[in-house]
Structure 1
Amino acid sequence: MRRSIWAAGAVSVLAFTAAAHAETITIATVNNGDMIRMQKLAEDFTKNHPDIQLEWVTLEENVLRQRVTTDIATKGGQYDVMTIGNYEVPIWAKQDWLVALDDMPDGYDTDDILPSIRSALTYEDKLYAAPFYGESAMVMYRTDLAEKAGVEIPDQPTWTDIKKAAEAMTDKSNEVYGICLRGKPGWGENMAFLTAMANSYGAAWFDKDWKAQLDSDEWKAAVNDYLDMMNEDGPPGASSNGFNENLSLFQQGKCGIWIDATVAASFVTDPDESTVADKVAFAQFPNKEGVDNHGNWLWSWNLAIPTSTDSEDAAKQFIAWATSKDYTKLVADKEGWRAAPPGTRTSLYENEEYQKAAPFAEMTLNSMQAATPDKPSVQDVPYTGGQFVAIPEFQGIGTAVGQMFSAALAGQMSADQAIQNAQQLTNREMTKAGYPK
């Protein structure tokens, strides 16, 4: 008995000593389902890395972007791992703000990362972030409501198809709204959606000389159709709704159609979370009749290491764990293959178990492969990016324009006034930055 007590005490002392000498890394991440799941499963990492402790800072999307941008630009060193998008990665890598991830451990298999995602995270032939999940955008809709309303949504719908279906599905007396779209302002919130929608109408942010095109006929048509759909068939308070808010509405059975990130598919089909899990179908992001552009965006949430960190090796070990094939398998073992982080690895889409468990897998992959971030508009433009413009100034411009369109959705200004204000602001900021020729 004494030996057992002594042994237990020795183990406790060793554990306490290990914890006391453990290196702590601070991880800034976004408040969404996949990232929350990562935190829950992180015990697997700390169990195998007792010398590393994890401290989480979980923030709403707009707040996360603001804080990590400020920290990395000022070399504040507040975070050791940052969750950032493929918008930031090449811009920040060019500034020498990120640690290269070209020395990931054996077995990590960087070549397994989907080519489009790997390319978006590469600068001068080096990988500067590892993708946690990737996405495009697509239509998610209620099959029962569509059938009841007598409408069909084809695999490649037009906006006319969507407007007709949304109107037919709307039943406000029962709190069922035909369509839910992002209204919360932010370059990665409502402007991610509206930029993709505008692209699908044949619009462009800038002409070849970097002059703003927000007052073009194509932008006007897209913005007016967006406002009409949301005012007539959308939920109340939509100007405050982003990804998470619309996800909740759809899961509660209050949306007929939701057009948003493909990553949402696993959550709307989760029978433990969604009241309509068995009544959901998928279609490609819509286009305007006659425009050969479905507006598919390409996005990934990625883990990256700022050069200001004092814990580079520990941070790399965590990123290698969180973005590995083994992590995907861990999620599948704990919560089923349907919940596996999508859109990053070729091997996932070759996995028969995943294909069987995830009815959205094919549409997700097709949408991502159809994305053309190198040619976001049918017009000849000087920029890349899909649902954003890949220049440093877009973060500020996109958010300011998003506030104007959100105000129009809230009824605080007309569509024409919002468009005029957006055009003037964008030209003014681009002129300050020295862009127009």
Structure 2
Amino acid sequence: MTFTIRAGLMACAASALVATSASGETITIATVNNGDMIRMQGLTDDFTKSHPDIELEWVTLEENVLRQRVTQDVATKGGQFDVMTIGTYEVPIWSKQGWLVPLKDMPEGYDAADLLPAIAGGLTTDGELYAAPFYGESSMVMYRKDLMEKAGLTMPDAPTWDEIKAAAAAMTDKDGEIYGICLRGKAGWGENMAFLTAMANSYGAKWFDMDWNAQFDSPEWKATLTDYLDLMNNYGPPGASSNGFNENLALFQQGKCGMWIDATVAASFVTNPTDSTVADQVGFALAPDKGLGKRGNWLWAWNLAIPAGTEKADAAKAFVAWATSKAYTELVAANEGWANVPPGTRTSLYENQEYLDAAPFAKMTLESIQAADPQHPTVDEVPYVGVQFVAIPEFQGIGTSVGQQFSAALAGQMTADEALAAAQTLTTREMKRSGYPK
């Protein structure tokens, strides 16, 4: 979907952050079709009021499609986009390739030092920030307190996978179209493999050993995938192999999920009474563990970056500064309430009592973000960094291919053993082609 937003009449604090830096330009922004980004598009009259000579053209895409389009454009310096919404995975790889414009000389008042170190660290190369975080996230358990109470159970703040399975069984009522647990099943390195890689970390599994040999033939990966399939086949919704973040969000908001383990950023959407039928019944817990010292939570940020192929870097930087500023947070709070501001990017937000009072999930979100360790993502030592991804260029393709095998297993098209064997074969083949194994 592509559309243009022109200058409007709304005036708020964010408009004072930056002055017009370019004239008569249209910048094209590629972004993902999630709630926070859609909300931002609805508030951009505030930007165009202070930048009347900059028009904004939006290309809003489903997550997997967005990744394909921006990767192709940035690698060829095609110049199709002036601002890209990219993740924590891409930033360090692309910055080292010279594909991104460093975010130097941000406007006065931007306060880059206020960015959460856990988030900013993944966006920094050689001391330079190469992308500005729009929101940051980990993952956690969102659950129906009323269904837990009806089942005679209490959700611990730090549950185990066994406790999650017991709760899923107790809350499932398929005749009433209530499913004990909803998890990502849609294939993609950033869809089902984000969840499954984080889950695997807590099971003691890993993508590669220290010599870059694939590890899908390990008992830890078999336990991970087997338990995932058992959860989804017994207590999950029908058609789960097609469900990603947005599909599961809709199911939870409609009251059809007892639990949903997914991005912390979803918390404001499941507790918003305008959109969620169960808003007043949602509780939160840390992502589960297996008692091995790692929880199944990830670390991610959706960020705004400027590709090196743009000829409109100044105008693009003005927009990035506006959209990721403290003033933008205040703009959202004024229009949507403090509970709906973009989370997980700034220290000051978690020191703001108005936000803490309005957002019952704030403490759990921050704790989850700070607990994720991309430098040591697994129980055992590994040669890579990244929690729910492996920070190498090849991972995007390999991760999606593996995700297709696991999604097929969820759809009943192959067994867990067959999916793991296929994952082992294709990962080994692609890594050898890339010269990784020693």
CA contact under 8 A between 1:96 and 1:307: conserved in structure 2? yes
Counterpart in 1 of 2:380? 379
1:75 deviation in Å? 1.2
**C-alpha displacement at 1:22, in angstroms?**
2.1
Q: Deviations over 1:29-50 (max 9, x none)?
A: 0000000000000010001100
Cα-to-partner distance string for 1:332-379 (whole Å, 9 max, x where unaligned): 000000001000000000000000000000000000010111100011
Q: TM-score, normalised by structure 2?
A: 0.95
- Cα distance between partner residues in 2 of 1:295 and 1:129: 26
- Unpaired runs of 5+ in structure 1? 1-17
Superposition deviation, residue 400 in structure 1: 0.1
Name which of 102, 112, 115 aligns with 1:113.
115
Aligned-partner residue type, residue 419 of structure 2: A
1:131 is aligned to 133
Cα deviation, 1:194-219, whole Å, max 9, x if unaligned, reads: 00000010111000000000111111
Q: Is the 8 A contact 1:295 1:386 kept in 2?
A: no
Q: Could you tell me which amino acid in structure 1 is paired with residue 331 of structure 2?
A: L
Choose the corresponding residue for 2:260, options 258, 279, 298.
258
**2:36 corresponds to 1:34:** yes
Task: Provide the residue aligned with 1:102 in structure 2.
Answer: 104
- Secondary structure in structure 2 of the residue aligned to 1:427: helix
**Which of 200, 203, 217 does residue 201 from structure 1 map onto?**
203
Specify the alignment match of 2:347 in structure 1: 346
Give the secondary-structure state (helix, strand or coil) at the position aligned to 1:278. helix
Indicate the residue corresponding to 2:12 in structure 1.
Answer: none
What residue number does 1:164 align with? 166
- 1:335 matched to which residue of 2? 336
Which amino acid letter does the alignment assign opposite residue 421 of structure 2?
Q
1:310-348 C-alpha deviation (Å, 9 max, x unpaired) = 100000000000000000000000000000100000000
Counterparts of residues 16-35 of structure 1 (less than 5 Å): 22-35=24-37
Aligned to 2:68: 66
Report the RMSD for the aligned CA atoms in angstroms.
0.8
- 1:283-294 matches, cutoff 5 A: 283-288=285-290, 290-294=291-295
- Give the deviation of 1:26 after TM superposition: 0.1
SS of 2:396's equivalent in the other structure is helix
TM (normalized to structure 1)? 0.95
CA distance in 2 between partners of 1:292 and 1:217 (Å): 18
Give the counterpart letter for 2:362 in structure 1. Answer: A
CA distance in 2, matches of 1:150, 1:160: 16
How is 1:28-427 mapped onto 2 (pairs within 5 angstroms)? 28-288=30-290, 290-427=291-428
Distance of 2:354 and 2:237 partners within structure 1: 37
Equivalent residue number for residue 6 of structure 1: none
1:214 and 1:137 mapped to 2: Cα distance? 23
1:289-320 deviation line (CA, Å, top 9, x unaligned): x3110032110000000010010000000000
Cα deviation for residue 74 of structure 1 reads 1.2
The residue that corresponds to 1:11 in the other structure is none
Q: Which runs of 5+ in 2 are unaligned?
A: 1-19
Indicate the percent of aligned positions where both proteins have the same amino acid: 74
Q: How far apart are the structure 1 equivalents of 2:237 and 2:243? A: 9
The DSSP-based 3-state class of the residue aligned with 1:179 is coil
| Alignment size in residue pairs | 417
Does the CA-based 8 Å contact 1:181-1:259 persist in structure 2? yes
The 3-state SS of whatever aligns with 1:365 is helix
The SS at the match of 2:118 is: helix
What whole-Å deviation, never above 9, does each CA across 1:214-242 have from its counterpart, x for those lacking one? Answer: 11111100100000000000000000000
Larger radius of gyration: 1
Aligned amino acid, residue 169 of structure 2 = E
Distance 2:119 2:230 in 1: 34
Q: Which amino acid aligns with 1:251?
A: Q
1-structure distance, mates of 2:62, 2:150: 36
